[in-house]
Amino acid sequence: MTLPIPTLPERMRQIEARIVDGLTGPEVSEPVLSDVCDMLCAPITLQSDIFEQVAVARGCHVAAQELHWQGNHSLADGYAAIGQDILAKTIAVIAQFVALDRHLSGVTTH
């Protein structure tokens, strides 16, 4: 039996849940923290998985919200900032896609 391919919303929830579980539990998950740090530190390019970037950023924001509820405000602020940084880098790549599309289609702007 083959496993069904998850829909994009299902995949988004899976990634978010993994990030939240890994960052807000009693012990921080080293693999999850490593994945978040890799996305934060590595340059995002046109070849990057933009969906994955957005999902991890959303996971950081949900983790930050959970940490605020737990009273750990300084760590929550840090994860919120990480999520914002990942989103900002992702938006820059989307802008590159738009510029490339305009260039390839011959659209000029004045």
- What's the start-to-end Cα distance of the chain, in Å? 56
Place of tokens 């959970």: 66
In the chain, domain spans: 8-105
Token representation of residue 45: 């390019």
Residues 6+ apart with CB under 8 A from 70: 24
Q: Say how far residue 39 (Cα) sits from the centre of its chain.
A: 8
Above 70 in pLDDT, residue 110? no
Tell me the per-residue pLDDT of 78-109, one tens digit each, with 9 for 90 and over: 999 999 999 999 999 888 888 888 888 887 76
Tell me the per-residue pLDDT of 24-80, one tens digit each, with 9 for 90 and over: 988 889 999 998 998 888 887 777 788 889 999 999 999 999 999 999 999 999 999
